[in-house]
Amino acid sequence: MTYARITGTGSYLPEKVMTNHDLEKIVETSDQWIRERTGIEQRHIAGDNETTVDLAEKASRLAIEAAGIDAAEIDLIILATSTPDKIFPSSACILQARLDIHGCPAFDIQAVCTGFVYALAVADKFIKTGSAKKALVVGAEIFSRILNWEDRATCVLFGDGAGAVILEASEETGILSTHIHADGKYENLLWVPHGIGDGFDEVKQGRGVVEMRGNEVFKMAVNTLGRIVDETLAANRMAKSDIDWLVPHQANIRIITATARKLKMSMDQVVVTVNKHGNTSAASVPLALDVAVRDGRIKANELVMLEAFGGGFTWGSVLLRY
């Protein structure tokens, strides 16, 4: 049987760090208020001249180096983002050119915070069907460009960054299962309500920004992620105790701890980066994964569950043997 196996990870965070104390100077909030409600201490913010593809390229090169392959060997590129550089071409195509890769399929996936999980699910299918042998899967975002910096309910939550993995066809166990879902009826609980459908008029007037009904989103996230945990374990006939590591979407420490309780996992088995990264949307899962791989926590042959929830609503999970 052919598996899609992660052979390299990489990530990149912009140099500029914005702490909660920095936010106190521009919006009515406090370090204590943000920490208590979200667990966030700081986030990284892209420079004026940095783009989503800039971040994606740096993360990708590190993943390629970690996998020990030549970029020319990559035969599939999927980039998950809600903040692409351009309407078209896709950010994946721009990244493809930056990496001097030619001819293979390259496309973006937009599932907001679940984007990387969606992208892994798609790449897994490509590899298992023999349509690709080495895939570059990236999550990259510059959410700071779509925030209302006067809205303390949203601007304190998000940050910028990118994470990437190399997936290779292997006879060794890799991705065991993927599970992705969506329900568009909840669109206005977490959304950017304006865009090309308005001819960008609203965007030009500064209204193309994230809007969120936080309490409703929190409840939906906790309940939905609980169900995806059950679905994933049932599909693989596994017990909660079989999971070595949980790498969750980094949105809110309370959502993360609720999911850990569902799995009856110690927080020592949960990768948490939300305190340092904030919510980087599609970049958060691969960023957290790379941190835990590079610091030696996640080791070969351990069982890892990735999960995420995002606007749409979208949600999903990946269970893999690292």
Catalytic: 155? Answer: no
Separation CA 224–CA 132 (nearest Å): 32
Residues 321, 52: Cα–Cα separation, whole Å: 29
The pLDDT assigned to 198 comes to 81
pTM, two decimals, is: 0.97
Answer left, alpha or beta for residue 233, where phi above 0 means left and psi between -120 and 50 means alpha. alpha
The pLDDT value recorded for residue 284 is 98
Paired sense of beta strands 134-142 and 76-80, if any: parallel
pLDDT at 202: 65
8 Å CB contact between 275 and 40: yes
Catalytic-labelled residue, pool 113, 155, 179, 277: 113
Q: What is the pLDDT along the chain (322 residues), one digit of tens a residue?
A: 999 999 999 999 999 999 999 999 999 999 999 999 999 999 999 999 999 999 999 999 999 999 999 999 999 999 999 999 999 999 999 999 999 999 999 999 999 999 999 999 999 999 999 999 999 999 999 999 999 999 999 999 999 999 999 999 999 999 999 999 999 999 999 999 988 888 777 666 667 899 999 999 999 999 999 999 999 999 999 999 999 999 999 999 999 999 999 889 999 999 999 999 999 999 999 999 999 999 999 999 999 999 999 999 999 999 999 9
Judged on CB neighbours under 10 Å (0-12, 13-18, 19+), 32 is exposed
Q: What domains appear along the chain, each with residue ranges and CATH number?
A: 3-172 (3.40.47.10), 176-321 (3.40.47.10)
Active site residue 148: no
Whether 113 is catalytic is: yes
The pLDDT of residue 199:
79
Q: What angle do CA 255, 233, 39 make, to 5 degrees?
A: 15
pLDDT for the residue 208: 84
Euclidean distance between CA atoms 73 and 99, whole angstroms: 11
